[in-house]
Amino acid sequence: MSSIGIIMPVVTSTNSCYNDYIKFRQMPQFELKSMQTKYYAELHALQDELTELLDELREWTHMRSRTLFQHSA
């Protein structure tokens, strides 16, 4: 028998996230949407913070390499 067109569940009771899966499946749609909005906002804030930290690291690395180059010259 072909499995084309048959949707098998990705999460089964053998998965460690099964309890979370059941909890989310039982939540009302509006509550899931609200949670998703909150998590996306948090994700974007973390991405902005990471970008800022990486920019600071690049600046520090650039300044450090210039200082080392000046001392070796």
Distance CA 43, CA 37 (A): 10
Question: What ranges do the domains of the chain cover?
Answer: 3-71
The predicted-structure confidence for 44-59, as pLDDT tens digits, reads as follows 999 999 999 999 999 9
Q: Phi and psi of 28, rounded to 5°?
A: -65, 150
Show the tokens assigned to 64.
């450090």
Whether 69 and 63 have beta carbons less than 8 Å apart is answered as no
Distance CA 22, CA 8 (A): 16
This prediction has a pTM of: 0.58
Q: Which of helix, strand or coil describes residue 38?
A: helix
The predicted-structure confidence for 4-56, as pLDDT tens digits, reads as follows 677 766 788 888 889 998 999 999 999 999 999 999 999 999 999 999 999 99
